[in-house]
Chains A and B, each alone.
Chain A
Amino acid sequence: MKSTVIKSPADRELTNYVSFSQSVRNSLTMAYRGLLKIRRTPEQLFDVTFQPILFTLMFTYLFGGAISGDVKSYLPVIIPGILVQTVITTSIVTGVQLREDMDKGVFDRFKSLPIARIAPLAGALLADTIRYTIATGLTFTMGFIMGYRPDGGLGYVVISGLLVIVCSWAISWIFAFFGVIARTASSVQGISMIVLFPLTFLSNAFVPVKTLPDWLQWFVKFNPISHLVTAVRDLANNATIGWDPAISLIGAAVIVAIFAPLTVRAYMRRT
């Protein structure tokens, strides 16, 4: 502005199309914004720090004796279960924060910029993988402190952790969708809990499936969360890669394929 004369519109290269590489670049920039925000307000990491510690302690000592006879033999069962439950619950916060964020004026600017429409959403979701990473790390650490020694070794534990993070990121698109369509942040929390509670508890995360009534077994076996839990158990405890990781990843891809476009469309309409 100081010296330069503004280029006239006729001299500009204009395109009404956003390339894939630009979408990725925009999303990464938005993810960087998300990370900066987390750094500025570290108190928003409160839930991902305390929930893994609290839940792991609570559920292990509560159910350990009843289900596996003692706490030590319950650990290989419960740690993968609690890991999946905790990390996925954490992804609700993504939707809630997105709702709060969208109420601020800065989203108007994002909408008026020539950037990929998906970027503000994808970036926020991407930045939140840092939260899942913290939750994953803390859950395994808690398990280790309580005596959990996964036979799969560190490598497979890391792979199982990554699998959970990727799947939670995919699931967070569902909550992002709620975040975009809901009127208030607290209603996002409410809807998401209703969806999530049956999904995480009606799975093989905490109890052996054999103990359940037939009709419930059918649901539990069908529940994608069960497949993810099984995948983590196989990886961390036995160092085996069965069909379950593949099923989990396919499920994750399907969720993103459905909910990402839905969310972006709802986001675009909501002005």
Chain B
Amino acid sequence: MKQVQSRIIAPDNGDLAVEAHALVKTFGDNRAVDGVTLNVRAGSIYGVLGPNGAGKTTTIRMLATLLRPDAGSAKIFGHDVVKEPQIVRQLIGVTGQYASVDESLSATENLVIFSRLLGLGRAEARHKAVELLEEFSLTEAAKRPLKKFSGGMRRRLDLAASLIAQPPLIFLDEPTTGLDPRTRNQMWETIRRLVKTGSTVLLTTQYLQEADELADRIAVIDRGRVVAEGTADELKTSVGSSSLQLRIQNPQDIQDARQTVERVLMVQSAVSPEGGKITAPMADADRVTDLLIAFRETGIQLAELSVQKPTLDEVFLTITGHGVKEDAAKEMDETDEVRGIKQ
């Protein structure tokens, strides 16, 4: 649906908005981005999915001319990010993970200053600020200093600031991290509306559900590499549309149980290291009935069983063969280095 809509309106559908080839960025010993290749069609929403510290922010910063790649190349609408940075900046809007607006000024002042910097006249800038504040339901808070803004309001203002020049490509770095569900849904709505006007959106997220809701195509990124790429459907088929988790009463039966699962569901199962829990992707939740019958026939006693939507963790487990959490320590390092200036 989304794709069809954007296809009609997007003026130059065949073009690539982003063409990144083997991008590399190293911070000290840490290869934060290790050969990322991405192609984003103009007029689409592209999701970059990965855990904290997978290299999402670093990738976006390189594409947005904020960071110079150590190797590889990237083009935005055919313009090289290293050779023609000033042209690239005229084509993009960037909304960072950390609000890139001026804390000590009011919402209106922020928007007016950004508008003036982008070449709008005094009256035009005021007009634009009023228009954007209204559109993002911030009119009431227009004169308040940002210190008193909630997280959601700040993100909305941040996004509004990225849209002043109506850039054809918008980078959104984790646009909904830390937002409550209601504000998150508003943000999703806004992003969808953006694409209808012909913008291309490249967003990063930690949530499979978000990528699923919004993105036409998704790249799964891990340890600085793209480990899977495709439409949301393609990705989900690779991990199953739901995930089965079960624990059995008698640990000796675990191999039998796995065999049964694999035979009935015709998929690969995995045993979680901590507690003999078997997980397996399921194409169809209804198949659980067949499985339960099979268990009764083989006499394996269940302790616990649940069918869930696949989490990012499972997508990862399936695609990379390792979980998200074991990287946690490394990720902290990287986030620190990306924000190195902030200390």
Contact = CB atoms under 8 A, between A and B. Distances in A.
A1 interface: yes
A18 B37 CA distance: 30
A105 B113 contact: no
B100 A106 contact: yes
Given A105-B100, A109-B114, A114-B118, A12 B91 contact: yes
B79 interface: yes
Interface stretch (B81-89, B245-253, B285-293, B308-316): B81-89
A1 B166 contact: yes
A105 B101 contact: yes
A136 B117 CA distance: 31
Nearest to A40: B104
Contact of A114 (B68, B90, B99, B135): B90
A26 interface: yes
A31 to B, nearest CB: 11
Interface in A2-51: 2, 4-10, 12, 14-18, 22, 25-26, 29-30, 32-33, 36-37, 40-41
A194 B102 CA distance: 32
A51 B23 CA distance: 52
Interface in A89-136: 102-115, 119
Contact of B163 (A1, A7, A14): A1
B168 A8 contact: yes
Contacts of B102: 33, 37, 104, 106
B78 to A, nearest CB: 8
A267 to B, nearest CB: 11
A109 B101 contact: yes
Contacts of B197: 1, 4-6
B87 A16 contact: yes
- Interface size class on chain B is 35 or more
B12 A10 contact: yes
Interface in B1-39: 9, 11-12, 15
B145 A16 contact: no
Interface string B111-137: 001101111000000000001000100
B64 A112 contact: yes
A266 to B, nearest CB: 12
Nearest to B80: A16
B198 A112 contact: no
A211 interface: no
B104 A6 contact: no
Interface residues of A, number: 45
Nearest to A117: B86
Contacts of B302: none
B138 interface: no
Contacts of B99: 105
B193 A1 contact: yes
B191 to A, nearest CB: 11
Contacts of B87: 14-16, 114
A114 B85 CA distance: 8
Contacts of A10: 12
B91 A9 contact: yes
Contacts of A9: 12, 15, 77-78, 91, 168
Interface string B136-172: 0000000001000000000000000101001110000
Contacts, number: 128
B109 interface: yes
Residues of B contacting A: mostly: loop
A7 B114 contact: no
Nearest to A29: B116
A270 interface: yes
B267 interface: no
A120 B285 CA distance: 56
A117 to B, nearest CB: 9
A263 to B, nearest CB: 16
Contacts of B113: 29, 32-33, 36
Contacts of A108: 66, 94, 96, 98, 100
B329 interface: no
Contacts of A1: 135, 163, 166, 193-194, 197
A251 B309 CA distance: 70
A12 B79 CA distance: 13
A271 B66 contact: yes
17 contacts: A8-B42, A8-B198, A10-B12, A14-B87, A15-B87, A16-B86, A29-B117, A32-B113, A32-B116, A102-B341, A105-B98, A107-B100, A109-B100, A112-B65, A113-B117, A114-B86, A114-B89
Interface of B: 9, 11-12, 15, 42, 61, 64-68, 77-79, 84-87, 89-94, 96, 98-105, 109, 113-114, 116-119, 131, 135, 145, 161, 163, 166-168, 193-194, 197-199, 341-343
Given A4-B197, A17-B86, A109-B100, 19 more contacts: A1-B166, A1-B194, A5-B9, A6-B168, A6-B198, A9-B15, A16-B86, A29-B117, A33-B105, A36-B109, A104-B102, A107-B100, A108-B96, A109-B114, A112-B65, A113-B114, A114-B89, A183-B343, A271-B341
Closest 9 CB pairs of A and B: A109-B100, A114-B89, A9-B77, A6-B198, A8-B11, A105-B100, A112-B94, A114-B90, A105-B98
